[in-house]
Structure 1
Amino acid sequence: MTNVPGTTATAATDLLLRRTRIDDATGPVDIAVTAGVIAAIGPDLPVSAVEEIECADRVVIPGLVESHVHLDKALLDGERGDHGGTLAQAIAITAELKRGFTATSIRERARRVLEQAIGNGTTAIRAHPDVDPIVGLLGVHTLMELREEFRGRIDIQIVAFPQEGIFRAPGTLALLREGLRDGADVIGGCAYNEDSLEQCRGHIDLVFELAAEFGVPVDLHADFADDVADPRFALADYIAEVTERSGLGGRVTIGHATSLAARAPEDRRRVLRRLAEAGVAVVPLPATDMFLGGRGDSANIRRGIAPVRELWAAGVRTAYSSNNIRNAFTPYGNADLLDIGLFLAQTSHLAGPADLTRVLAMATYEAAAVIGIADTYGLRVGAAADLVVLDTYRVADALLDRPDRSYVVKAGRVVARTTRTRELLLPARV
């Protein structure tokens, strides 16, 4: 990418990144930032800056985007180390722990994850706090406070998420409506966590009704199983149908969707075409999906992740994210999207520069589109200056090298920096 024709940088700017690598097919370019926005991109820009960073051919990418994270339930392994192992056990363990949640406990755990995420190059995050009669709106309200506390360092979208179901947990629907009135940005859903297929479909219908009422996007947990033997985990078709009927194409996301991989090939192709045509995005969550999947298998244990390459081929918008961090759903994680991306590639038969560059795009451009910030995002003149300088020299190596995030820039300000010195101590030659 080069500077837009006819556009020149101003004589003085706020921040200048010298000699960055933003594309493996072209040479190094400078990036000039003014008032939090990218003002110019091009080789050897004739500008001065209040702050100048010599990148020395290191890769610069737009800020990473966590499109699906549960901040309110993060780091619960410090309170209970029993992880159960199945989805149902994880929900039950977490429901028990939620009874002891306080604003302080949520705030402290979420703050630790947010600080990790910023240091690892994340500049925007979509968080899914639970909304139910157990915890009420405590998670939503606490994350609203953190949204203000972290403003200018990371953008936080809040999803009102009914983990315990809507029909299964009476009172949840009123809480969801209240959470949206209070300032939640997105309506969530847990399509499979009801007692019957009819209730699961009713759950989806109610979520879409709330989306229409409040003018917000939809982000559903759905089809999170090893296969489709239980029809509650085969709802992608229905979600696509309701999306089309509601006119919400481009504003609906499914998280997990692992059972897509278990469908017969022709049926899978049909469903993926349906999702693409309806404008429904899919967000695999590989750390959780791999940990909880296949628990009932005693041989040829299934390791289900939504079929990424087939999603690409079908034209389905596809991102990935960390989901849970160190709790009963996922006992791992450091809020590091490059680490999750490498794991996704390793477990999805993705390899080589083209695949790895596309996986990186799933955590940048594709994730930005999923959470609705594409209009102000990216490495282009006029976009918000949310940037990450990686300690590597090829974009295609951004996952493989596990590079330090040398600088993290949010709205034109450096918000995190990593400096590391490594020495190889060789024996003296004789």
Structure 2
Amino acid sequence: MSGGVREFYSIYLFVAPELLVAYIHFFFQLYDGNNENANLAGTFCGSTVPAPFLSTHNSLTVKFITDNSVEREGFNATYTTVDRPCGGIYNATSTSLTATSPNFPNEYPPFTLCTWVIDAPPHQQVRVVVEAFHLHSGQDCSRNYLELQDSPTHSQGLVHRFCGTETFPVPEFYSHDRTAIVTFKSDEYMINNGKQLHVSGFLSQGCSREYNQPFGYLKSPGWPGHHPNNMDCSIILRAPMNHTISLFFHAFSLEDSIQCSHDFLEVRNGSDVQSPLLGRFCGNTVPSPIFPQNHVVYIHFKSDFSGAHDGYEITWTSSSTGCGGTLYGVTGSFASPNYPATYHNNTDCEWAITAPKGRIVTVNFDFISIDDPGDCSSNYLILYNGPDASYPPAGFIQIRIKSEIAKKWPLSYNHLHR
């Protein structure tokens, strides 16, 4: 185009061996891949030297552009190849495997992609505990996240994604089969890009568990298929000291027997088998919610040599106010305090239901009985389409109940793809 400013540009492609990544000091436009369609890591000009950059994979594309208006000294870049800073394939053992973001405990670099594959022996499971997880809350969740998933992913496997907007601790993760995949991705360039990630992976011996967290989701071994025979599982739920736990059963099916002498699920108000018994369950009747008024609950699941059934699915939460809390899991149920009995007068509870990213929440009421003069000013149940009434639609729902008169209600919820 005559009379315009002409541009001159050069493109450089750096390719490292397959298992290495490139490390470069640069002065130009940088793409994190083998062509200009890859993620743009940054455009740089002026006289300020950018920080060193570490590629995600084994190739980098550098594009140098000038016009004919000004001439400067140009640039001088050096590059080398280094081992991948994070990720890998590991065998799960009883000794903790520690995985951290690059530069931990300092900030990780932009365009970080770490994938850890943790494999247990056949018929064993992997336990993943996230010790530290801090991302910037303003980052796009589709490009900056921690993901925990089963491998292979199938109808019985789970995929959970967590972003910088989460306000709760990441719950412990147990793989459905023998392999768990942990993925940490940061796909944006920001000043002070990110904080830190610290993950521990273990071999989960047998079916016994101990959860030290304010809420969670429980399912029997093999769920949603039949549980194995000859199981003997001890599960401890331990919420913060000033909290009380609530248990809500979403599904339940165990072999029926007199006094539940064959297969059974026991719930005890304390930390061991000697604690007071709150209930012993078998058969196909879904148990009513359990409100132990304690921050520790002991659950014992036992099956004999025959008669395997579907097992159980339980949502549990806790609160410092005696009711309410965070509900987490693919599906679940919860109810007013003391259901099916009436709740106490002057009840004021709030629950937050959190779905995996990319999903929405459906809520179904099975029954409701809340007395009020008619204007819902003193006794009511409110559903907010977000963390509170001001938030837009999202995979999150806030529920609040307030009543001056004792009544009751149960409901169930589910997550659907958008």
State the TM-score, normalized to the length of structure 1.
0.28
State the TM-score, normalized to the length of structure 2.
0.29
Instruction: Give the structure, 1 or 2, with the largest relative contact order (CA under 8 Å, sep 6 or more).
Output: 1
Give the structure with the larger strand fraction: 2
Give the structure with the larger helix fraction: 1
**Structure of larger gyration radius:** 2
